[in-house]
């Protein structure tokens, strides 16, 4: 069973709340996904309002919230936002996102490391969204991160595991859970990440903007399970030559 | 529901019997896969023997046999083998494999077309194993093939969909079911083929040579379901730029 | 030095005449490319006219013409077209193109083999445009083809070597020159084909539709030379781990 | 003409001195490459010795040295090494390499940024070797880097542009020269980097360990020229459908 930040998860599919056409559809899709960790932008929730729409639709016994700091520009803003999130949502879990560039939303390695260090000292379980940079991952471990969330491809690009070669190194070297975030645009991408040995994946856009988010959520659920099982059962090696699955002796001998 | 050659299939995962370390393990894996169509090399079965090992392990109400002609060198041998297979196994279904080259097992387009034409006239439901050649697929349709089975990559190479660009054309143009055969080495590959709109996949080596064929069979079952659901729910388009899944307005405004 | 169909070529870059914005620009680009074999659609030339525009611009001592049968639908039309071409252009060289599908222009393996056999008997030096099908290549050799021209990707798609895995097999097995045709959209693609051991490449669209066809022609010339030299000097193997090019002993020891 | 750190370069191929089987072969290859900037590990040179082997072979009017800090573990060691290098080799140019991990030699983003800032203040023209991280590139600009040197793939892996998607973003956003370093294992890789708009590439292993380093050096020289020319002439767009380069009207109309 997966454990991150002291919390156990039965599902290795983490999800998000952005871009759904309605909160009702979001809720239905997240339930279908069987995801137990759902990230939500702090800006979108108002915990003090009885009528808060998104939060209302996320009140399920199995679902834990993972507030994210999307929109902050540096470590200082991130720490402030994290504290608001903890108070509002009563959780130490935090998805740290610091991406100053509004076009590609690539994360800032320097500010992310700095904020992770501060937040870990403040007792947060930090899930930092980062580029697939193996050395940065080790440094985040050194300052007490709960997990690392390297990107597969730019957020929302749906390109899959463009960082494949670096994810392999990260997975090999990491002593904290590796959660592939961003870029996963199809169940096959999620399965591939799991086959490589990622501990979990986070999927949002590909589910939310599908023609049928509920069905797509279920597809991702199955793909993540499939990829994990394949990892556990060990995939066969790739081979340069063909290897017959049927006997090669000439049929009519 | 998938229909090929007049037969309906609840599962879109077709499997094979080669390379398993024992017939018992094969049986257990094929049951776990929930596959309803299992290909078997004619050379390996002896229908008249009470003790025939492989056949005994394939007697399940849900499993149909798909004899294959692996080992034949040309159309003439293929037709002869097909007739033996029909008599022995009492089925019109036939996986046609003509691959003269013993190293890469690449199929022969000329002999395959010739044999398909003859076999279709003889009432066979032909599943020809072919290169991912869009024009050959159309010509096979013209002579009455029941399906086309383009390869993803050389047999046993586990490389996945190396023929991706051509499979897309084949799927777009085909009026018979498209079953991706050969090269599928991981559940993610199977999911990708299904996401593209393939009607089914055939997997053998990747299941049989895994450390845990039963678990791997189940992984493929889930991946094929996931890929099909994603196809039906329509995947989101790939995008060049990042698209935020969380709101981009600066957090602390 | 490359020899195909009994003719020696100093350049391994073959070119075409389609899609240039003017015949003058075409001539300038082809001269810059230093190509010695230029394919031309028979439909576009009128050898009997004094004023024929394209032919006039191809009269260079170094340039040989390679008439192609683009537009024919089957072997019979191809043989007829070839005979017209031989008479009109006084050459036995022939690029055989039979692609019935108007959308993707994928070649027909059956009609191409049939036409190659007939044309070889009639004394033609046949350069058949084909899918990257290793078995078809061997069968074309058997009937006397002068070369094989497997495609890298659909004509005009500029996608590069989508058929990489199959080109490798073809190059390994072929006893006639292998000329990669179609899909080459950048000098890097041409270089890659040559590095793999292709004997030559044919490039048309990528030169003709560039903003600066003359400069692009020269770029392809250099890239083909580079790729050939790298093939001759043998590339280093790919490695999974990093290997330092500088000494790893800690600097300050 | 390329200008980096106030120096103009006629060649966009930068090279290195590691792994050659002899200093004579190194010299011959570097001359053949026409490279004007050659990186050398400080540990390998002893400027005070009359007999120093490597330096003796690099004394060419066209060649400038680019000392690198390979082997240092953090910013402090890097600054110290840089000062030694400046004194020994009488150049402000410095290739900054800080890679604590001995297996994959991935660079450290934090220490690299810190060292770049200090070194820029000390008047160095810094060429930092980094992961292909777009935000890190912008931050390096902010502290006065002369260029950025994102990696294509792990050093010595010869895998080519595994970081393609991120190099594109870096090239689009950078206001300092972008030099692709590490991973370039074939002339086609170098050409591709240049086609994308990289300002230069640095190649060492692929030349040094080839069967014929002199010929391979020349191949890279041509490939870099080809890629640059293609960039200037603008490549055609990739297309999903085939586009005929010959007229499609049926031949025999």
- Summarised one tens digit per residue, pLDDT across range D28-86 is 999 999 999 999 987 755 555 544 678 888 888 899 999 999 989 999 999 999 999 99
> What mean pLDDT do residues B222-242 have?
83
Closest chain D residue to A140, measured at CA:
D110
Lowest mean pLDDT, pick from A75-84, A98-107, C190-199, D118-127: A98-107
Interface-testing mutation among A85, A235, A240, A253, with chain B (most B C-beta atoms within 10 A): A235
End-to-end CA distance of chain C: 53
User: How much is the pLDDT for A248?
Assistant: 47
Full DSSP string of D67-79 = EE-TT--SHHHHH
Q: Give the whole-angstrom CA distance, residue B73 versus residue A115.
A: 66
Q: Are B69 and B95 in contact (CB under 8 A)?
A: yes
Judged by CB atoms closer than 8 Å, whether chains meet at A106 and D135 is answered as: yes
Average pLDDT (D207-230) is 97
Q: pLDDT, tens digit, for every residue of A101-138? A: 888 889 999 999 999 999 999 999 999 999 999 999 99
Contact in structure between D237 and C156 (CB atoms under 8 Å): no
Whether the pLDDT of residue B236 is over 70: the answer is no
Nearest by CB to residue A110, choosing from D107, D139, D157, is D139
User: What are the structure tokens assigned to C58, written together?
Assistant: 């191809």
Closest Cα to residue B204, out of B182, B230, B174? B182
Are A43 and B251 within 8 A, CB to CB?
A: yes
**Higher-pLDDT residue of A206, A237:** A206
- Please name the residue of chain B whose CA is at the shortest distance from the CA of residue C112: B110
Of B131, B154, B164, the CB nearest to C133: B131
Question: Binding residue per annotation — D204?
Answer: yes
Give the whole-number percent of chain B exceeding pLDDT 70: 89
* Shortest CA gap B113–chain A (Å): 19
Q: Which of A19, A64, A95, A125 is an active site residue?
A: A95
Ranges of beta strands (E only) in chain B are 2-4, 7-9, 13-16, 37-41, 64-68, 93-96, 125-130, 149-150, 179-181, 200-203
Taking the C-alpha atoms of residue D195 and residue D223, their distance in angstroms, rounded to an integer, is: 10
Nearest CB partner across the interface for B136, out of C109, C162, C163: C109
Distance CA D88, CA C184 (A): 48
Q: Which of B148, B150, B134, B203 is closest to B5 using CA atoms? A: B148
Residue B68 has, within 13 A of its CA and on its CB side, a CA count of 28
CB A194 within 8 A of CB A228: yes
For residue A198, give the DSSP letter.
-
B102 phi/psi in degrees, rounded to 5: -75, -10
What is the pLDDT averaged over residues A191-195? Answer: 98
* Residues from B in contact with C at Cβ < 8 Å: 99-101, 104, 106-110, 113, 131, 133-136, 138-139, 153-154, 157, 159, 162-166, 169, 173
Closest CA to D233 of C189, C187, C157: C187
Q: Between C23-33 and C213-233, two packed helices, what is the crossing angle to 10 degrees?
A: 20
Identify all chain C residues contacting D41, using CB atoms and an 8 Å cutoff. Answer: 246-247
Average pLDDT in chain B: 90
Residues of chain D contacting C154 with CB distance shorter than 8 Å:
241-242
pLDDT of res. B176: 98
- Would you say D182 is a known binding-site residue? yes
Q: Are D132 and D166 in contact (CB under 8 A)?
A: yes
Cβ distance A106 to B242 less than 8 Å, yes or no, reads yes
CB atoms within 10 A of CB D215: 17
Domains of chain A: 2-233 (3.20.20.70)
pLDDT at C239: 63
Which subunits sit against D, judged by 3+ Cβ pairs under 8 A?
A: A, C
pLDDT band at A53 (very low <50, low <70, confident <90, very high): confident
Is the CB of residue B115 less than 8 Å from the CB of residue B78?
yes
Q: How far is A233 from chain B (nearest CA, A)?
A: 5
> What residue has token string 């022939």?
C94
Q: From the annotation, which residues of A make up the binding site for 1-deoxy-D-xylulose 5-phosphate?
A: 156, 182-183, 204-205
For residue A49, pLDDT beyond 80: no
C109-121 vs B134-142: helix axis angle to the nearest 10?
100
Q: What does the pLDDT look like over D139-198, one tens digit per residue?
A: 999 999 999 999 999 887 889 999 999 999 999 999 999 999 989 999 999 999 999 999
Query: Is the pLDDT reported for residue B213 higher than 60?
Result: yes
Q: What is the pLDDT of residues C28-65, one digit of tens each?
A: 999 999 999 999 987 755 555 544 678 888 888 899 99
Mutate to test the interface with B, among A38, A84, A224, A226 (most CBs of B within 10 A): A226
Proportion of chain D above pLDDT 70, given as a percent:
89
Distance from CA of C241 to the nearest CA of B (A): 20
- Shortest Cα distance from D144 to chain C (angstroms)? 25
d(CA C118, CA C113): 9
CB under 8 A, 24+ apart: contacts of A54-57: A54/A17, A54/A23, A54/A26, A56/A23, A57/A23, A57/A24, A57/A26, A57/A27
**Res B215: pLDDT:** 97
D221: annotated active-site residue: no
pLDDT band of residue A52 (cuts 50, 70, 90) is low
Of the candidates B118, B220, C214, C242, which has an alpha carbon nearest to the alpha carbon of residue D19?
Answer: C242
- Confidence at C249, pLDDT banded by 50, 70, 90: very low
The single-letter DSSP state of residue C237 is P
- Contact (CB<8Å) C226/D209: no
Write down the pLDDT at residue B237: 66
Looking at residue A54, what is its pLDDT? 82
Q: What pLDDT was estimated at residue C52?
A: 61
Q: Work out the average pLDDT over B166-174.
A: 96
Position D248 scores a pLDDT of 47
Please give the angle made by the CA atoms of B39, B42 and B47, to the nearest 5 degrees.
105
- D151: helix, coil or strand? strand
Q: Is A122 left (phi over 0), alpha (psi -120 to 50) or beta?
A: alpha
Give, in degrees to the nearest 5, the angle at Cα C87 between C85 and C88: 65
Tens digit of each residue's pLDDT (9 = 90 or more) over B51-95 = 467 888 888 889 999 999 998 999 999 999 999 999 999 999 999
Q: In what order do the strands lie in the sheet with A179-181?
A: A149-150, A125-130, A93-96, A64-68, A37-41, A13-16, A200-203, A179-181
Cα distance between residue A163 and residue C91, in whole Å: 51
Q: Minimal Cα distance from A153: which residue of D? A: D165
Question: Binding site membership of C for 1-deoxy-D-xylulose 5-phosphate: which residues?
Answer: 156, 182-183, 204-205
Q: Which two tokens stand for residue A113?
A: 């490391």
The residue that leads in pLDDT, A244 or C248, is A244
Query: In angstroms, rounded to a whole number, what is the distance separating the alpha carbons of residues D245 and D243?
Result: 6
Q: Quick check: A167 pLDDT over 90?
A: yes
Q: Report phi then psi at C142, rounded to 5.
A: -60, -30
**Which of A181, A149, A107 lies closest to A5 in space, CA to CA?**
A149
Contact by Cβ (8 Å): D95, D107: no
Q: Which has more confidence, A249 or B225? A: B225
Q: Chains near C, with 3+ CB pairs < 8 A?
A: B, D
Q: How many C-beta atoms lie closer than 10 Å to residue D50's C-beta? A: 6
- Smallest CA–CA distance, residue D121 to chain C, in Å, is 23
Query: What confidence tens digit (pLDDT) does each residue in C76-133 have?
Result: 999 999 999 999 999 999 999 998 888 888 999 999 999 999 999 999 999 999 999 9
pLDDT over threshold 70, residue B108: yes
Chain C: closest CA distance from residue D195 (Å): 8
pLDDT over 90, % of chain D: 75
Extract the tokens encoding C102: 């108007």
DSSP A128-167: EEE-S-HHHHHHHHHTT-S-BEEBSSSTT-----TTHHHH
pLDDT at A65 over 70: yes
Per residue in C131-186, pLDDT (tens digit) is 999 999 999 999 999 999 999 998 878 899 999 999 999 999 999 999 999 899 99
Nearest CA in chain C to B114: C110
Residues 6 or more apart whose CB falls under 8 angstroms from that of A57 comprise A23, A24, A26, A27
pTM: 0.92
Q: Which of D21, D251, D252, D253 to mutate to test the interface with C (most CBs of C within 10 A)?
A: D251
Q: Which residues contact A59 (CB under 8 A, 6 or more apart)?
A: none
Size of interface C-D (CB pairs under 8 A): 287
Pairing of strands A179-181, A200-203: parallel
On chain B, the residues whose CB falls within 8 A of the CB of C110 are: 109-110, 113, 136, 139
């Amino acid at each position: 069973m997966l454990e991150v930040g002291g919390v156990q998860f039965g599902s290795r599919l983490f999800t998000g709340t952005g871009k759904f056409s309605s909160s009702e559809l979001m809720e239905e899709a997240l339930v279908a996904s069987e995801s137990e960790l759902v990230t939500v932008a702090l800006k979108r929730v108002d915990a003090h309002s009885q009528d808060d729409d998104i939060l209302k639709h996320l009140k399920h016994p199995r679902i834990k919230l993972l507030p994210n700091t999307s929109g902050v520009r540096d470590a200082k803003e991130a720490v402030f936002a994290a504290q608001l999130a903890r108070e509002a949502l009563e959780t130490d879990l935090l998805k740290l996102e610091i991406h100053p560039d509004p076009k590609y939303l690539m994360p800032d390695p320097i500010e992310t490391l700095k904020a992770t260090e501060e937040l870990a000292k403040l007792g947060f379980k930090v899930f930092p969204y980062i580029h697939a940079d193996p050395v940065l991952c080790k440094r985040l471990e050194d300052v007490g991160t709960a997990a690392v969330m390297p990107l597969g491809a730019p957020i929302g690009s749906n390109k899959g595991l463009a960082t494949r070669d670096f994810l392999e190194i990260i997975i090999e070297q990491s002593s904290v859970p590796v959660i592939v975030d961003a870029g996963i645009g199809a169940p096959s991408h999620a399965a591939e990440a799991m086959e490589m040995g990622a501990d979990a994946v986070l999927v949002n856009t590909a589910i939310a903007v599908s023609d049928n988010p509920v069905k797509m959520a279920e597809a991702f659920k199955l793909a993540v399970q499939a990829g994990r099982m394949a990892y556990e059962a060990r995939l066969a090696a790739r081979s340069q030559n063909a290897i017959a699955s049927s006997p090669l002796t000439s049929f009519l001998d």
